[in-house]
């Protein structure tokens, strides 16, 4: 089975950073044979497996779109296939619920923003409609006054002959 470089690096990091855990214990946690982990550690010591720049984005560097796609893909897998799929992707099982919470939170935040924006737009629309009604009323009054002035010039007392 082929594991991603990022996953290999994360397993080697786990062995190196946890001094109290042996390769055997990490092997039991990850389900990878201790021989494979030893070979990855040898590759790391030879400089062929860089732990800092493993070539793949870390879990925190993935975009929300990638997280959603991976989360949806994980939902289609059975429990037996899920472990293998997680190893290939360089993920751990705890990432999936965290991503689900993160994406749900983002969606809820976006819905709140949309509600606030809609509310602000409704208020602005109501204000503009009131202003338009006021201006239409004023325009109608001016039209009536002009019509009266035209039809009855003496009504306003502006007799130019006197």
Q: What is the pLDDT of residues 87-117, one digit of tens each?
A: 777 777 778 888 888 888 888 888 888 989 9
- Cα gap 49→84, rounded to integer Å: 21
Domain boundaries, the chain: 1-56
What does pTM read for this prediction?
0.39
- Cα gap 17→11, rounded to integer Å: 10
Least confident of 46-50, 59-63, 151-155: 59-63
Q: According to the model, what pLDDT value does residue 54 have?
A: 46
Least confident of 26-40, 42-56, 124-138: 42-56
Read off the pLDDT of each residue in 141-159 and give the average, rounded to a whole number. Answer: 83
Sign of the torsion formed by the C-alpha atoms of 83, 85, 87 and 92:
negative
Read off the pLDDT of each residue in 145-154 and give the average, rounded to a whole number. Answer: 88
- Cα gap 157→92, rounded to integer Å: 91
Model confidence at 143: pLDDT above 90: yes
Cα→Cα distances 158→43, 61, 152, 161, 162, Å: 104, 80, 11, 9, 9
Q: Tell me the per-residue pLDDT of 13-41, one tens digit each, with 9 for 90 and over.
A: 778 876 667 788 888 777 788 898 888 88
**∠ CA 28-32-38, rounded to 5°:** 100
Residue 158 pLDDT grade (very low, low, confident, very high; cuts 50, 70, 90): low
């Amino acid at each position: 089975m082929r594991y991603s470089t990022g996953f290999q690096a994360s397993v080697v990091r786990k062995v190196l950073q946890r001094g109290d855990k042996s390769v055997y214990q990490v092997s039991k946690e990850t389900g990878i044979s201790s021989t494979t982990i030893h070979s990855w550690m040898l590759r790391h010591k030879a400089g062929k497996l860089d732990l800092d720049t493993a070539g793949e984005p870390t879990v925190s560097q993935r975009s929300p779109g990638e997280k959603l796609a991976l989360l949806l893909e994980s939902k289609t897998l059975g429990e037996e296939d899920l472990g293998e799929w997680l190893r290939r992707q360089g993920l751990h099982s705890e990432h999936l619920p965290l991503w689900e919470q993160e994406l749900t939170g983002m969606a809820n935040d976006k819905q709140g923003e949309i509600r606030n924006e809609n509310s602000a737009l409704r208020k602005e629309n109501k204000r503009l409609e009131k202003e338009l009604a006021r201006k239409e009323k004023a325009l109608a009054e001016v039209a009536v006054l002009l019509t009266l002035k035209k039809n009855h010039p003496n009504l306003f007392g502006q007799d130019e002959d006197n």
